[in-house]
Amino acid sequence: MDLADYTACDGTELRRLLAAREIGAVDLRDTALRAIAAVDGQLNAVVSGPYEDAQAAADGPLAGVPFAVKDTLPESGRPLGFGSRLLDGYVAGRDATLAERFRAAGLVSLVRSATPEFAFNTDTAPVVHGPTLNPWNLSRSPGGSSGGAAALVASGALPMAHGNDGGGSIRVPAAWCGLVGLKPSRGRVPLGPAVGEAVGGFAHEFGLTRTVRDAALLLDAVNGPAPGDRYYVARPEISYMGSLEREPPPLRVALCTSSPFGTTTDPQVSAAVQTVADTLAELGHHVEEVSPQVHEERLRACLETVWSADLAVLASTFGRIGGREAGPETVEAASLACVRRGRELSALDMDAAAATVNSVSRRWGSFLEQHDLFVCPTTPHPAPASGVPDQADERYDSAARWLDVVFGPSPFTPIANLTGQPSISLPLGESPDGMPIGVMLTAQTLREDLLLAVSAALESAMPWHRRRPAVHAGAGT
């Protein structure tokens, strides 16, 4: 298969071609491997693989479609690193439930993609692997923590890839790399079996795609409860692919461009969000500027507590597994500051964080009973320079300082992690220098169907598929 033809196809189309026998599975695998090789020397998005002998179910809804798994999800027999020297050389002994579902869906996981240390940065440049770069501009960040996945999908190397999101880690890379990034509702996609919840319930699993229909098809393939899940969310009665065929009724849309952390939103980003609002109005929806109030200091304190506690547990677990102590030689400076903070926390600190999660969730849940959608920037600016912020910088000697620089560039995304509501970033804007701008839509809990239906309507009204980054697997073919 020609690389130009391959990169022009999303996962849905590749599956159609395979089912119609217009291409063969071996040919598609070889083409995907060539596409990865064509770009990864510039992007540094792959941390292990390629696995040319990767196997998956031949009868799944995505059978034969090439894929990547982020280096945070255990796959039996493959390295698991979390971007940290603590786990350097470790090989997972069992699959995560989601890894099993990817294979059952027929996805062929050819490589594992890069993540910052402990998946806790809006850039992807861990000491253990070096920086992953943005295919739109190699001087810019691809985002984090699913930066490797985003770089591979945006560059055309793969049609879709796994990612997870504990504060924006799917949606921020989607915004900065020009992709569709859906963070599902809490419990929609299983996390087990090793854990019941991740990052205090903030982290949710899914993936990044180039098209809305691929997001719907992937969600159809992997959603649904697993035995013993802490959050038991039944599959929807109508498939997500089916929801794309339903025109949304007139909706009540809330619009906001002001950051809850006080970060100034670039005028170019505000303009992109306003254009989306105008398009939604033209499609028959009622749009008004309104947003729930957010108590900034309580939100900051909550994020610091929950993330620091999580990193302390990860460092302890990974240190035990890898046979290494967490210290300056094995853990990056900012991560280590969070680990130390996590070890200081009391039960009362954790209870205060839980109270904030509850109050924010109640307020936003009530708000989304009155408004069907909340529309805002995914991030207040396009992708910054690569290496910003630097997780290994010793100046980040406290968790509070690190939280400021992590959530400063992504102040809009964490709310949906606290509340568990579904949220999606769409590549609906473009900066004057050609960088993607993401616009984010959030809906009431379990309303992925509504998000995907509206996203499909926006994709049709404001198509983005003709844009192509500077580093692209189909270039010159």
Contacts with 209 (C-beta within 8 Å, 6 or more apart), sequence order: 10, 11, 153, 159, 160, 179, 180, 182, 215, 218
- Helix, strand, coil shares, percent, the chain, to 5: 40, 15, 45
- pLDDT value at 153 more than 60: yes
Quote the CA–CA distance of 45 and 30 in Å, as a whole number: 19
**Ordered DSSP codes for 49-118:** ---TT----TTSTTTT-EEEEETTS--TTSB--TT-GGGTT-B-SS--HHHHHHHHTT-EEEEEE---GG
The pLDDT of residue 8: 97
The pLDDT of residue 261: 81
Quote the CA–CA distance of 308 and 9 in Å, as a whole number: 41
Burial class (CB in 10 A: 0-12, 13-18, 19+), 166: buried
**Ordered DSSP codes for 169-231:** TTHHHHHHHT-EEEE--TTTS---SS-S-SGGGT-EEEEEESSHHHHHHHHHHH-S--TT-SS
Quote the CA–CA distance of 410 and 214 in Å, as a whole number: 25
φ, ψ dihedrals at 48, nearest 5°: -155, 155
Quote the CA–CA distance of 399 and 402 in Å, as a whole number: 5
Read off the pLDDT of residues 205-223 as tens digits, 9 standing for 90 and up: 999 999 999 999 999 999 9
Sign of CA dihedral 301, 303, 306, 310: negative
Of the candidates 40, 57, 60, 62, the residue with the CA atom closest to the CA atom of residue 49: 40
Which ranges in 323-442 belong to alpha helices (H)? Answer: 333-344, 347-370, 399-407, 414-419
| 476 vs 412, more confident | 412
**Mean pLDDT, the chain, whole residue set:** 97
Q: How confident is the model at residue 477 (pLDDT cuts 50, 70, 90)?
A: low
Read off the pLDDT of residues 275-308 as tens digits, 9 standing for 90 and up: 999 999 999 999 999 999 888 999 999 999 999 9
Quote the CA–CA distance of 191 and 48 in Å, as a whole number: 22
Q: Which amino acid belongs to residue 60?
A: G
Residue with tokens 């579902």: 101
Read off the pLDDT of residues 318-337 as tens digits, 9 standing for 90 and up: 999 989 999 999 999 999 99
Contacts with 412 (C-beta within 8 Å, 6 or more apart), sequence order: 168, 259, 260, 376, 377, 378, 379, 380, 440
Quote the CA–CA distance of 444 and 461 in Å, as a whole number: 23
* Token representation of residue 399: 């968790």
Of the candidates 68, 140, 72, the residue with the CA atom closest to the CA atom of residue 409: 140
Quote the CA–CA distance of 312 and 277 in Å, as a whole number: 42
Read off the pLDDT of residues 65-114 as tens digits, 9 standing for 90 and up: 999 999 999 999 999 999 999 999 999 999 999 999 999 999 999 999 99
The model scores a pTM over 0.85: yes
CA dihedral of residues 269, 422, 426, 110 (deg, nearest 10): 130
Any idea which residues carry the catalytic annotation? 70, 145, 169
The pLDDT of residue 476: 65
